[in-house]
Structure formats: C-alpha cells, structure tokens
C-alpha cells in the first residue's frame, strides 16, 4: 500500500491553521495535511511574532521536521504563505535537506517582482479594512466589531510588514516542480509577475488559472480537485522511475 503524501500548508497574511480547517478536511481523503500556525496568532497567540521572513522560515522548518518521516511531501502556500514556502524550499535545498516532490503556490507574484510602493501595513484602520474587503479577506459582518478589529489588525499588519520589508536575493534555482495557481479576477496579480516564477526553478513550472479573486481557493471544489490531480500525476511519475 502506497504511503499517503504529506501536505504542508502555509497560510496567507493574517491566517492561521484554523483558517484552513475546511480545506484540510476536503483534502484529507488524499493527503495527510499539516497547516503551519505562525507565531503570534491562533493556538500560538502568546508566542512572539517573527521579526522577519528568515526567522519565520526557521520556525516553519522546525514544524516540517517534527512531522517528517522520510516519505514524499508537498508544500502549499497561499499569498504571503507562497513567499514563505519559496524561502522554506530555498533553505531546505541550501542545507541539503529533503525537498518537496512538488510545491503549490497561489495568489502571489514571483518573489523577484517588485510590488507596488503603497505601504499597506501603515494604513489607518479604515483604509486597511477597505483594502482587505476589496481582496475578499475581511468578513463584512465583523467590520463594526471593535473586539475583532483590535485582535485581528495587529496580526495582519505584522504579516504585511514582513512582505513589504522582504528583500529578494538571487540564488540557485530550486530543484522542485512548481504549480502556480491564481484567480482570474485577482487584482493583486499581473500575468507578467506570474510568469517570472519560471526563473526560480530548474524543474517544470505549471501555470493554472481558476475563476475568482484573491481568495479563489477557499470553499472551491475545483481547486481541491486540481491539487489532488497533481498528486496522482506526481505519484505516477515517481512509480514509473
């Protein structure tokens, strides 16, 4: 009997492991899912925020290694999580550690792409909430809930600051196939910035588009089916070697 593939999920800015509970359930017939909970939110609310992407990567690698057993694994990251996933794979490769058989990266421009100069994390509350609503990342029914706003906005500001302070450094290409999945109505992403992901890997780069905005992948059975189909292809290719 073939071992089930482990799937490590890296959340979007402001997200935690509970944000992906429904997605994990949908993927569970095929994958053993493990969603990272970054420090400073969710069950790790009392832990200090990571100071930078590098520190967050170290935290994620510790989580990966605690769950690894030598079997094949995939890494999935959405938006902010796609950037963290990219840097995690870089770190694994640099340290000659086992690499994912494939990585799914969604809702994120290539790391070499310079994003717009508008600072999001320094916006006032009203501006930031309006921006998040435009992305589809803020529940309308909580827009006037001051307790939620006071709890959530410091987390999202922190993550946005990490993105905005990130400095891309050119290094060896990844030896991992990448699957880039994006929403056709995502206002954050330009097609040219997606194609630039091809420069980051020596392996095949697959580009997939799905209907929807920035958070197209939530509650989306077509997205689940797509991820599962790549698992089947990957298992076939491995067994054929």
Q: Using the predicted structure, report yes or no on whether residue 241 has a pLDDT greater than 50.
A: no
Q: Using the predicted structure, report yes or no on whether residue 205 has a pLDDT greater than 90.
A: yes
| Per-residue model confidence (pLDDT) at position 141 | 80
Strands of the chain, DSSP E: 5-10, 31-35, 73-78, 102-106, 178-183, 205-210
Q: Using the predicted structure, report yes or no on whether residue 229 has a pLDDT greater than 70.
A: yes
| Per-residue model confidence (pLDDT) at position 142 | 82
Least confident segment among 35-44, 79-88, 111-120: 111-120
Q: Give the pair of three-digit tokens for residue 125.
A: 């509350």
| Per-residue model confidence (pLDDT) at position 61 | 97
Q: Using the predicted structure, report yes or no on whether residue 238 has a pLDDT greater than 50.
A: no
CA distances from 83 to 12, 49, 104, 227, 229 (A): 9, 17, 11, 19, 23
What percentage of the chain has pLDDT greater than the value 90? 80
| Per-residue model confidence (pLDDT) at position 185 | 93
Per-residue model confidence as pLDDT tens digits over 157-203: 999 999 999 999 999 999 999 999 999 999 888 888 899 999 999 99
What percentage of the chain has pLDDT greater than the value 70? 94
Q: What is the mean pLDDT of the chain?
A: 92
Q: How confident is the model at residue 237 (pLDDT cuts 50, 70, 90)?
A: low
All domains in the chain, ordered by first residue:
5-110+172-240 (3.40.50.1820)
Per-residue model confidence as pLDDT tens digits over 50-87: 999 999 999 999 999 999 888 899 999 999 999 999 99
First to last CA, the chain: 18
């Amino acid at each position: 009997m073939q071992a089930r593939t482990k799937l490590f999920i890296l959340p979007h800015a402001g997200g935690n492991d509970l944000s992906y509970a429904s997605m994990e359930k949908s993927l569970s017939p095929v994958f053993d899912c493990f969603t990272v909970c970054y420090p400073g939110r969710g069950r790790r609310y009392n832990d200090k925020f990571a100071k930078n992407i590098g520190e967050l990567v170290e935290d994620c690698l510790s989580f990966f290694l605690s769950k690894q057993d030598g079997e094949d694994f995939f890494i999935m990251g959405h938006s902010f999580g796609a950037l963290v996933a990219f840097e995690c794979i870089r770190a694994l490769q640099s340290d000659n550690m086992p690499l994912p058989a494939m990585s799914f990266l969604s809702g994120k421009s290539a790391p070499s792409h310079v994003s717009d100069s508008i600072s999001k994390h320094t916006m006032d509350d009203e501006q930031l909430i309006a921006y998040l609503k435009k992305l589809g990342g803020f529940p309308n029914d909580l827009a006037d809930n001051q307790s939620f706003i006071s709890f959530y906005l410091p987390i999202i500001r922190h993550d946005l600051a990490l993105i905005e302070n990130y400095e891309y450094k050119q290094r060896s290409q990844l030896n991992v196939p990448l699957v880039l999945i994006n929403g056709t109505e995502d206002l954050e992403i330009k097609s040219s910035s997606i194609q630039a992901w091809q420069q980051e890997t020596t392996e095949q780069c697959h580009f997939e588009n799905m209907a929807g905005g920035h958070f197209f992948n939530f509650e989306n059975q077509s997205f689940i089916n797509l991820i599962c189909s790549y698992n089947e292809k990957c298992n076939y290719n491995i067994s054929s070697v």
